[in-house]
Structure 1
Amino acid sequence: MSLLDDTRVLAGLALILVGTVLLVPAMLPNAPTFSTYALVLAALLLTAGTWLVGTSGESSPV
Structure 2
Amino acid sequence: MGLLSSKKAVIGMALMIVGTLAMLPGTLPNSAQVMSYAVVVGAGALTLGTWLVGTSEDGRPV
Pair in the same fold by TM > 0.5: yes
| Superposition TM-score, scaled by structure 1 size | 0.93
Instruction: Show the counterpart of 2:35.
Output: 35
Percentage of pairs with the same residue: 47
The gaps in structure 2 that reach 5 residues or longer are: none
TM-score (norm 2): 0.93
Secondary structure in 1 matching 2:24: helix
Give the 4+ runs in structure 1 shifted more than 6 A: none
Secondary structure of 1:29's counterpart equals coil
1:29 Cα deviation (Å)?
1.5
Q: CA deviation at 1:40?
A: 1.0
**CA distance, structure 2, for counterparts of residue 2 and residue 37 of structure 1:** 35
**Which range moves more in the overlay, 23-32 or 13-22?**
23-32
